[in-house]
Structure 1
Amino acid sequence: MFGHVDAGVLHVRPALDMCDPQQEILMKQISDEVVALTAKYGGLLWGEHGKGFRAEYSPAFFGEQLFGELRKVKAAFDPNNRLNPGKICPPEGVDAPMLQVDAVKRGTYDRQIPIAVRASWRGALECNGNGLCFNFDVKSPMCPSMKITSNRIHSPKGRATLVREWLRLLADRGIDPLKLEQELPEKRASLRSLIERTRNSWHANKGEYDFSHEVKEAMSGCLACKACSTQCPIKIDVPEFRSRFLQLYHTRYLRPMRDHLVATVESYAPLMARAPKTFNFFINQPLVRKLSEKHIGMVDLPLLSVPSLQRQLVGHRSANMTLEQLEALSPEQKAKVVLVVQDPFTSYYDAQVVADFVRLAEKLGYQPVVLPFSPNGKAQHIKGFLNRFAKTAQKTSDFLNRVAGLGMPMVGVDPALVLCYRDEYKQTLGDKRGAFHVMLVHEWLPAALEQTSAMEVSGEPWYLFGHCTEVTALPGAPAQWASIFARFGAKLESVSVGCCGMAGTYGHEVKNHANSLGIYELSWHQAMQRLPRNRCLATGYSCRSQVKRVEGNGVRHPLQALLEIIG
């Protein structure tokens, strides 16, 4: 129960399980009694929205005379009753039924899905259709794919609805998705399976219908930004059930080559970074780019950092300490050590940011130690390689739990990758994840600056563009960054923008290229054109990559601006 005091509106959502036939009957009884109660006190059954679905009560609330006038208005503008038939009133002269509260509801279909499946796929089943994800405010992070396509299928509500129907159809055919998921870890790749998936994919390319293709189309348009998991009133987490769907879908159909390339980026990026100039030369060749676009479906492939992070830290003490050496430090020495947790995108494609964090930590009187690279697995999760992701997450969790035992703060640079440790790792591993905690830069800096005297704020402001995943999961992040800058006498303003449109590899996929650039145009481009580029900052690697691709020159991470301010 919630509402708006200023408008005198009370929203009441009875705790009814509409999959239970007996509770479904209660809805009509409750509605009738609420109608009578509000009428008794001179109130209305509706205020902001929802009039249409309560159409059977319209004559009672409007009165027969006014209801008749409404029907005349309806007849003047919609004589054939084509616009929202069954809602509010029918046109004058048209004998059409109105929507009934006790009509067949979504729960009637949902109850066809086994209880265990409904509980496991709760993220899709709990969508109550409130439609906040149909938000067209370009400065709101939810939902970028809905904004650029204006197609409700490409919204959290649309995707949840499709998955719900997909689960119902599976149940109708006697297929248990939970059993399929349980069998996957033991299921080894076989020639027979490959032949079956090849045959199914061939039939699909020939136009053979399968409802799962419609679900796949909706899921492929998702940027996996996770804004819905916090901005939706019901916290519908599309990326979570999206990855599960993709895993099952590709047990029947072949994966495109690009999925395998994206999922294995953490395996080959460290190897390529040993000879970045060579690989960049190769990637930059027109023929390679054309082949990548046509046969792999990837465009604007990012270039490796030159010099590499390893080259920048050659001989630096931050890169040469083992866990055994760290364990041997005294408590006093440990108190001044900060451990840098690497991620594949910043370390190998934007290495200067990590190197600058090392320098920043040193200027603040700390000894930074760059931990050995351990794959995060985020890309595997996004593409639905969940079994592989579980193994990656467990291995990295074991490593980070051992490091956490040292009692030193661990800090990561990229928001999406650090938050993956807190969200996807917990969803997948549960208690096996352990209790390790990796902080973001803005979470670590306040403690590191406790002994620093605040300075008077002056000068030209800096402008912060937050990462979608970060500003929705950690809404206080922009204010924390501003307070950190203020300690050094610098003003930092948070720029209100939506999604940048890159979202990891989403913007590099040919099929998403136009939408990626379109999403950037919605809010980021105008802000970048309006503000001085050298004062613009972005916390996300994806965001900085998108700015560089579109604008021709990039922006820095806020920690790099701090390094400049400190001098």
Structure 2
Amino acid sequence: SLFNKIKLKLSEIPKNKILGVCYFDNFNQAMELTKEIVKLKPTCVELMDQNLLNLAKEIPIYADGIKKYIKGNPKAVLMVEFIDTDQSIYEKKIKDLEYLVLNQNKNNQFSFYSNLEEQKEVFEIRKAGLNILMSMKGDKKPVAFIEDCAVSLDHLADYTAQLKEIFKKYKTSGMFYAHASVGTLHIRPVLNMKSDEDIKNMRSISEESFEIVKNYKGSHSGEHGDGIVRSEFHEMMFGKKIVNAFEEIKDTFDSKNLLNPGKIVRPFKSNDRDLMRYKSGYQAQNISTHYDWSNWGQFTDAVEMCNNNGACRKLDSGVMCPSYRVTKEEKDLVRGRANTLRLALSNQLPEGSFASKEMYETMELCVSCKACQRECPMSVDMAKMKSEFLSHYYKKFSMRIKDRITSEMPRLIWLLKIIAPIFNKIKNLPLISSIVEKFGFAVERNMPEVQNQNTLREIYNDQNFSEKKVILFADTFNVNFENQNLIYSIKVLNKFGYQAIIPSFGKDKLDRPLCCGRTYISYGQLDKTSKELNRFNDYIINNNYFNLPVVGIEPSCLLTFNDEYQKLKNVNNREKIKNKFYLLEEFILEQIKNDNKVKTNKFDQNVLIHGHCHQKSQDRMKGLTNLLSELKINNKMIDSSCCGMAGSFGYDSKNYEVSKKMANLSLIPAINNSDEADFIIANGTSCRHQISDLSHKKGKHVSELLFKIFETVN
């Protein structure tokens, strides 16, 4: 309404730059030195304080960067960038900077980075400052209301010291980060915005902080603008005469008060709780849960971690959020789901909304990829939240036949196995397809064949006895649909001198094979999940297998032991289970590193990798890529989100089109455009099925590649 044309000037992105990272043993000294650093004419000086760095260490997506680029446990870090066409000039400046930092305090440290990729990685941590701060667990959060104040560098150290005294007075602390070079630090006091007392404290801290800024002839809005939190303090900053002028201008150009009412002139009160997320009397339900949410307080506190930052709305890199990338609908987004849960649990939606059909629709397209667990700066774990919701939902509503069949797959498959030869012949007949469709399965899908286990059992029983043993966690899917992958795995493990133990294949008297409970998790049957995991614990305890490594080949099953297994309340004797859990490639990599004389067959094919979502969420893709690099095999990771099959998600007739669209965003085009000779690794069973259904190529399990490499080697 105010602009109809804006002319911009573009500048070339500089290529000659260097980044100095200064680690300070004393926060106040960092603030004092800033004015001296600025005399070196850097392009920026950015601050991160100790509190921010400590929070970043706990966030999976930033933890590696902190470990790589932050030395020790500094009280403050200043990132100082220099740009110049003459390399010798910025190299001299970086040496001058190093002298300033190290000469100030013997406990200070210094690093510099000339590599542009490394500079980018360091700045990624700083750019994420706000999201890192908001990851603080519990009701107390760093709150923005004095975060935009600016003072001259001559007063910066005194200003920050006085603010810390104010925070201390109100029994809190603050977070300090951002633009030190211009004296605009983003400072956020830690307050509980559900608390009446802290709302009063917010008001008092505002008044006292703005008074200090005024005394230093600074500004209470250095960058972000005034908004509701600062507009009512204009008269303190500018005086009555200028505020009256603001009102005259507003009334002249916006006589109907349509543009941003309540801000700048005739403002709302900054502590008006009706304008806040947590209104007066806010209270959330404390529902019964299967998972332990005590790290956050309770389930609702974990839901409230979503601060609407919108990181889940990205459409390119990473995995999060697959459903949103297809539908572009807010409800199909981590943020949309979290907000809907929060509103329902705090009685801001109609009674009974939590376990309702409307909530089911909100959750329906969540594929439980777990990307939000890693890529969301708040680590909002929507996969677990969905299964908690479903556990309540199915107490009110009955399961569809398709969902009941799928959730009980580990039990039902052993019945289906009895009639496998008949089932495999008739599964694609029109009559069977019609029945399958009525149950809710997508008829467009190729139903997998149920395999007999004769060859697998022969290979298993033919193993030589060895003192070196490993438990091979034979999951339902590979045992019954693709058991050649288990055959490859046994043979590869044998090559390294290990005897593979498959529970239920030996003399352990199990009534049925062990199971991780993954299909139950997908449908909120968490009591049944706990029972399956307790069966695993009993097996380890009864056979005294405490020291045996557990190796799995299906990522979603094996990685259950690193995730849900650790959090479910009703898993017994967990503290007794000290076994290490490995994906096959991780275990083989460890063996190769312990024996650098391992012989291999030549493997000339290039390898294209589709990473399983759960591996990515737990940062477990490195085992595969490092193994292939160790074996001197050319490999490339496909930059893809979820394959779209997501266990049984893509087999659902309601989800089929969405599933296809997920796959066709990046995965299927990358595979179809790859070289015919490329070896495509997709370790997830459902990933391989999706690739087979939608492309002209086949995805293979890494066990097949390893078998080819070690097959004839003595």
TM-score bracket for the superposition, by shorter chain length: 0.7 to 0.9
Deviations 1:62-116 (A, max 9, x none): 98799899979997xx99948xx55977xxxxx9966845342222278322568
Q: What residue in structure 1 maps to residue 337 of structure 2?
A: 159
Offset of residue 36 of structure 1: 5.6
- Structure 2 CA distance for aligned equivalents of residues 537 and 465 of structure 1: 6
- Structure 2 CA distance for aligned equivalents of residues 514 and 73 of structure 1: 54
Conserved? CA contact 1:364–1:448, under 8 Å: yes
| Residues 500 and 154 of structure 1, relative CA distance in 2, 3 Å threshold | same
Q: What residue in structure 1 maps to residue 653 of structure 2?
A: 510
Q: Does the residue aligned with 2:395 lie in a helix, a strand or coil?
A: coil
Deviations 1:498-529 (A, max 9, x none): 11111111111122111111111112122112
Q: Does the residue aligned with 1:536 lie in a helix, a strand or coil?
A: strand
Aligned: 1:133 with 2:304: no
Conserved? CA contact 1:243–1:384, under 8 Å: yes
- Structure 2 CA distance for aligned equivalents of residues 115 and 231 of structure 1: 27
- Structure 1 CA distance for aligned equivalents of residues 222 and 558 of structure 2: 44
Conserved? CA contact 2:400–2:439, under 8 Å: no
| Residues 79 and 261 of structure 1, relative CA distance in 2, 3 Å threshold | farther
Higher helix share: 1
Offset of residue 218 of structure 1: 0.9
Q: What residue in structure 2 maps to residue 409 of structure 1?
A: 549
Match runs of 1:320-469 below 5 Å: 333-335=466-468, 337-372=469-504, 373-403=513-543, 405=545, 407-428=547-568, 429=570, 432-433=573-574, 434-435=576-577, 436-449=579-592, 450-453=594-597, 459-469=604-614
The counterpart of 1:262, out of the listed 406, 413, 420, is: 406
Conserved? CA contact 1:162–1:215, under 8 Å: yes
Q: What residue in structure 2 maps to residue 179 of structure 1?
A: none
Q: What residue in structure 1 maps to residue 368 of structure 2?
A: 224
- Structure 2 CA distance for aligned equivalents of residues 72 and 211 of structure 1: 49
Q: Tell me how many residue pairs correspond in the alignment.
A: 508
| Residues 256 and 460 of structure 1, relative CA distance in 2, 3 Å threshold | closer
Match runs of 1:232-247 below 5 Å: 232-247=376-391
Higher strand share: 2
- Aligned sequence identity (%): 23
Deviations 1:98-152 (A, max 9, x none): 6845342222278322568772433213323222222222x32111112212112
Q: What residue in structure 1 maps to residue 617 of structure 2?
A: 472
| Residues 114 and 313 of structure 1, relative CA distance in 2, 3 Å threshold | closer
Conserved? CA contact 1:414–1:539, under 8 Å: yes
Conserved? CA contact 1:353–1:557, under 8 Å: yes
Conserved? CA contact 1:488–1:565, under 8 Å: no
Q: What residue in structure 1 maps to residue 154 of structure 2?
A: none
| Residues 70 and 267 of structure 1, relative CA distance in 2, 3 Å threshold | farther
Q: CA RMSD in A?
A: 3.9
Match runs of 1:62-141 below 5 Å: 81=258, 85-86=260-261, 100=270, 102-104=272-274, 105-108=276-279, 111-114=282-285, 119-137=298-316, 139-141=317-319
| Residues 74 and 421 of structure 1, relative CA distance in 2, 3 Å threshold | farther
- Structure 2 CA distance for aligned equivalents of residues 70 and 511 of structure 1: 56
| Residues 116 and 153 of structure 1, relative CA distance in 2, 3 Å threshold | closer
Aligned: 1:27 with 2:202: yes
Q: Which moved more, 1:60-69 or 1:431-440?
A: 60-69
Q: Does the residue aligned with 1:485 lie in a helix, a strand or coil?
A: helix
Conserved? CA contact 2:470–2:501, under 8 Å: yes
Q: What residue in structure 2 maps to residue 528 of structure 1?
A: 671
Offset of residue 445 of structure 1: 1.3
Q: What residue in structure 1 maps to residue 231 of structure 2?
A: 56
Q: Does the residue aligned with 2:609 lie in a helix, a strand or coil?
A: strand
Q: What residue in structure 2 maps to residue 189 of structure 1?
A: none
Conserved? CA contact 1:338–1:369, under 8 Å: yes
Letter in 2 for 1:102: D
Offset of residue 444 of structure 1: 0.9
Q: Does the residue aligned with 1:368 lie in a helix, a strand or coil?
A: strand
Greater relative contact order (Cα < 8 A, sep 6+): 1
TM-score, normalised via structure 1 length: 0.78
TM-score, normalised via structure 2 length: 0.63
The counterpart of 2:190, out of the listed 8, 15, 22, is: 15
Letter in 2 for 1:239: A
Structure of higher CA gyration radius: 2
Conserved? CA contact 2:372–2:381, under 8 Å: yes
Offset of residue 383 of structure 1: 0.6
Deviations 1:401-434 (A, max 9, x none): 4456253222010111111122112221356334
Letter in 1 for 2:665: L
Letter in 2 for 1:432: N
Conserved? CA contact 2:472–2:501, under 8 Å: yes
Q: Which runs of 5+ in 2 are unaligned?
A: 1-50, 53-125, 128-176, 289-296, 505-512
Q: Which moved more, 1:28-37 or 1:446-455?
A: 28-37
Q: Which moved more, 1:539-548 or 1:279-288?
A: 279-288
Q: Does the residue aligned with 1:334 lie in a helix, a strand or coil?
A: coil
Letter in 2 for 1:532: D
Q: Which runs of 5+ in 1 are unaligned?
A: 90-94, 176-208
Letter in 2 for 1:161: N
Conserved? CA contact 2:203–2:270, under 8 Å: no
Deviations 1:441-489 (A, max 9, x none): 122112222213379999553122111111121x2x3333222123322
Q: What residue in structure 2 maps to residue 281 of structure 1?
A: 425
| Residues 460 and 261 of structure 1, relative CA distance in 2, 3 Å threshold | closer
- Structure 2 CA distance for aligned equivalents of residues 386 and 80 of structure 1: 54
Q: Does the residue aligned with 1:107 lie in a helix, a strand or coil?
A: coil
| Residues 292 and 26 of structure 1, relative CA distance in 2, 3 Å threshold | farther
